[in-house]
Amino acid sequence: MKLMKYLGAAALALAVTGTANAENVKIGVVLPFSGANADLGQQMDKAFDLYVKLHAKDIAPNTVELIKRDEGPPTGAQAKTVATELITNDKVNMLAGFSFSPSSIALAPVVTQAKIPMVISNAGTAWITNLSPYIVRLSFSMWHHGYPMGAFAYDKIGCKTAALAYTDFPPGKDSTEAFKTGFEKAGGKIVDSVPLGSPVQVPDFTPYFQKIKDEKPDCMYVFIPSGAHATGVTKAYGELGMRKAGVKLIGPMDLIPDNKLQDMGDAAIGTIVMGNYAVDLENAENKAFNEEWHKAYGKDSYPDFMSAAAWDSMHAIFDAIKKLNGKVDDGAKVVDAMKGWSTNGPRGHVMIDADTRDIVQDEHAMEVIRKPDGKLGIKVLGTTKAVKDECKVQKIGRCAS
């Protein structure tokens, strides 16, 4: 018995010395795991886990440890509390995740003070990256999709007039503002702008859309959070027969998240969105990503743009760990390692702008089609290469500071 104990201790000692120069990097993952937005958290969480599982060997002998906490509702408060404690109590080296803009905004002063890098995998309010030099964003700004959609809608889709409809919270206003700026610059005319109620509950969309239908614009640009709202929009649009009436449904890719697309049915066909990712995007990395995803989570589970951003986030983190050989104690160095980082990921070529720490990526105009295998999918209509966050480029409003 005693011998066993000694042997055990010896083995442990050996293990400790054997990995003495390897670092264990702790990453705090903050995502909404419960509540009305739990599905957003799940989409990103699955991508994080998958990346770590498949690429752990890339950073050997160093290891990573994900410590997950519930981001809670989009209030900022709970996210701030759990993330602060991840720093003070769990001593994480960096933070990743963040579904909601308020969480990132609330946390910005904390990561600045603690000098902990914060990798954002979703939150899309444009000016977030200005709030702290430790914030790096791998997802998008509302302007990434909205602004190029303006010109595309006027030139290519043939929208001379458009109505805006948006969920009444900052990302919605951001997105429609971005579209309006691009659309009016191209020569288009906005006929109406309709707020669609709060982001918390999915409203009955019919009366709003009925009103827009009566105004007969060429296109209706809709922004909604990509959770349950998305399905509601397509349903109401389909029920009202708006496409037959000549009103095209356009918007950012949040309208047709891949994991809900199959449920939307025929009503979704013909919808044109601007976005950085779709399951059907053709590139080698995306094909491999999808194969691994289906292998891990089953054939009915689909990654979506959040999963792709989360995947790239973890990729950037791993590359930074590799570059620094596991020495990630200095947060500023980690952020520096990520500046100018680029890769070919599921979304195609992406790069972190060294000045703004925001992502630079290709934007695709995509139309929903019925694929030969009977499933819904998308067809790429056109691609704009290397799109930056136009809000910061043009220094509009809060993006200026």
Residues of this chain, 14-53, that bind another protein according to CB under 8 A: 31, 33-36, 38-39, 41-42
Site for another protein contains 190 (CB under 8 A): no
User: Taking CB under 8 A as the rule, which mask of x and - marks residues 122-161 in contact with another protein?
Assistant: ---x-----x------------------------------
In whole angstroms, the minimum distance from the beta carbon of 149 to another protein comes to: 22
Q: 60, exposed or middle or buried, with CB in 10 Å at 0-12, 13-18, 19+? A: exposed
Q: Which of 66, 228, 369, 381 binds another protein (CB under 8 A)?
A: 228
Q: Which of 26, 133, 191, 235 binds another protein (CB under 8 A)?
A: 235
Cβ proximity to another protein: between 115 and 349 the closer is: 115
Q: Which of 206, 290, 383, 384 binds another protein (CB under 8 A)?
A: 206
Residues 6 or more apart whose Cβ sits within 8 Å of residue 140:
124, 276, 305, 309, 359, 361
In whole angstroms, the minimum distance from the beta carbon of 377 to another protein comes to: 18
Using CB under 8 A as the binding rule, the residues of this chain from 359 to 388 that contact another protein are none
Q: Which of 47, 68, 357, 363 binds another protein (CB under 8 A)?
A: 68
Give the count of beta carbons closer than 10 Å to the beta carbon of residue 372: 7
Is beta strand 359-370 parallel, antiparallel or unpaired with respect to 348-352? antiparallel
Q: What distance in Å separates the CA atoms of residue 214 and residue 49, rounded to the nearest whole number?
A: 47
How many residues contact another protein, by CB under 8 A? 72
Using CB under 8 A as the binding rule, the residues of this chain from 270 to 309 that contact another protein are none
Q: Residue 184 half-sphere exposure, CB side, CA atoms within 13 Å?
A: 10
Q: What distance in Å separates the CA atoms of residue 126 and residue 394, rounded to the nearest whole number?
A: 12
Cβ proximity to another protein: between 226 and 286 the closer is: 226
Q: Any idea what DSSP says for residue 154? A: I
Q: Which of 202, 224, 274, 279 binds another protein (CB under 8 A)?
A: 202
Q: Which of 3, 17, 214, 284 binds another protein (CB under 8 A)?
A: 214
Amino acid at 83: A
Q: What distance in Å separates the CA atoms of residue 159 and residue 187, rounded to the nearest whole number?
A: 10
In whole angstroms, the minimum distance from the beta carbon of 322 to another protein comes to: 28
| Residue that is written with structure tokens 């089953």 in the block | 298
Cβ proximity to another protein: between 144 and 229 the closer is: 229
Q: Which of 220, 250, 264, 317 binds another protein (CB under 8 A)?
A: 264
Site for another protein contains 329 (CB under 8 A): no
- What the block records as the tokens of 239 is 């029920």
- Residues 107, 112, 116, 120, CA torsion sign: positive
Cβ proximity to another protein: between 178 and 196 the closer is: 196
Site for another protein contains 241 (CB under 8 A): yes
Cβ proximity to another protein: between 108 and 316 the closer is: 108
Site for another protein contains 231 (CB under 8 A): yes
Q: 282, exposed or middle or buried, with CB in 10 Å at 0-12, 13-18, 19+? A: exposed
Q: Which of 133, 161, 238, 342 binds another protein (CB under 8 A)?
A: 238
Residue 29 contacts residue 99 (beta carbons within 8 Å): no
- What the block records as the tokens of 273 is 């969105």
Q: Which of 19, 21, 210, 394 binds another protein (CB under 8 A)?
A: 210
Q: Any idea what DSSP says for residue 374? A: S
- What the block records as the tokens of 111 is 């990561």
Geometric angle at alpha carbon 317, from 315 and 323, rounded to 5°: 100
Q: Which of 27, 28, 59, 73 binds another protein (CB under 8 A)?
A: 73
Using CB under 8 A as the binding rule, the residues of this chain from 87 to 116 that contact another protein are 87-89, 101-102, 105-106, 108-110, 113-114
| Residue that is written with structure tokens 């030969």 in the block | 372
Cβ proximity to another protein: between 62 and 231 the closer is: 231
Tell which residue, 259, 275, 264, has the closest CA to residue 237.
264
Q: Which of 168, 215, 330, 355 binds another protein (CB under 8 A)?
A: 168
Residue 80 contacts residue 67 (beta carbons within 8 Å): no
Cβ proximity to another protein: between 90 and 155 the closer is: 90
Site for another protein contains 344 (CB under 8 A): no
In whole angstroms, the minimum distance from the beta carbon of 211 to another protein comes to: 5
